[in-house]
Amino acid sequence: MLVACGMQRCHQEALKKNRVMLAKQLVLKELMEHMIEKDIITTEMMEVIQAKSGSFSQNVEFLNLLPKRGPNAFSAFCEALRETKQQHLEAVILKTTSSLSHGVARLEHCCGSNLPFPTSESCNSKRPRWIEPMEHSLDNGDGPSIPPVKYCTPEFYRDHRHLAYKLISEPRGLALILSNVHFNSEKDLEYRAGGDVDCASLDMLFKHLGYQVTVFHDQTAQEMQNALERFSKLPDHQDVDSCIVALLSHGVEGAVYGSDGKLLQLQEAFRLFDNANCPNLQNKPKMFFIQACRGDETDRGVDQRDGKEWSDSPGCEESDANKEENLKLRLPTCSDMICGYACLKGTAAMRNTKRGSWYIEALTSVFAEDSRDTHVADMLVKVNRQIKQREGYAPGTEFHRCKEMSEYCSTLCRDLYLFPGYLPGK
């Protein structure tokens, strides 16, 4: 079954049909403070909006962002309109929502109540009562496939250690997995079927790679924050060579959901592990893997033109190659991190209810096979390649032949080889 994230489709349509009116009439200044208080947008998002020139452009930026801020964004927006004495705008969009709902009721009368309703990975809003849930396996085959990790040879270690991060401690590092599959019934966040498969796959992979793994299930946003803070402050980080954090949940751009439907901001999580806040991990590689939606757009894909699959691109010119190093050693606040995301900004991540998410399945497969002789950045490129080639299989639904594209960002300063199975002197 494909599982995407965001507000209900009828609410998106209501905003779309009234977009010009809202862009002209909306008064944002006080309203955005209410939206921050309701945990819908962040102060950074408000600053991006305010950087636009003129109220119309600011309103357009806000309206572009709003549908991507989860299933509670629409009701919070309506409440904020009332709180800022803009009830006339709320009345217009609610009237549109009502007319759209009547259209659904007419469809029910004409077509009956046995229509399938597909889902995609993230924060699906509740299904209309007239639509029966129907699971669509997007790929043929059930159950997770967790291949054994292949070990690197002593020869490979000797040939590559000089340009790589030191990664020979036992354990290699500490790993933390926060996996949310059940959510507060008061929130429009559905059970993440297949999420337990992802968690089990990563748990086994990290252990086989030599990490000491801690797992927490179904944590509230505050509990997730607390777990990350405790983990970042563990004194044992001083004695190991790296760390891993994996967050598996519903999400929106820049944040993931706790089991209580509140958001944990990713930048706050990353900040806990920077050079200022986590000195025990200074100059050591820190890996983050985020399995969550970053919006609600389903990638429909495009047909490839005839010809070569890959186009040649010019190389990048190296600059400042001979710059003299500073004699006084000083670290940037954030360095030596790499973060893999299941999908691109604004898009939904896909999850098979039997085999788990596309991204985690590809990640475990590539890392198990290739970590013996490939560094992490190159392995994440291989993950991207596998995700690019994958395609949804759910005939008769909006998810048939849908696509996904993963990505990663990095501040690594050396090659990050995991050297699985290699222990000096053993």
Catalytic residues: 250, 293
Tokens of 59: 């309103």
Give the 3-state secondary structure of 365-399: HHHHHHCCCCCHHHHHHHHHHHHHHCCCCCCCCCC
Of residues 186, 176, 191, the one with CA closest to residue 121: 191
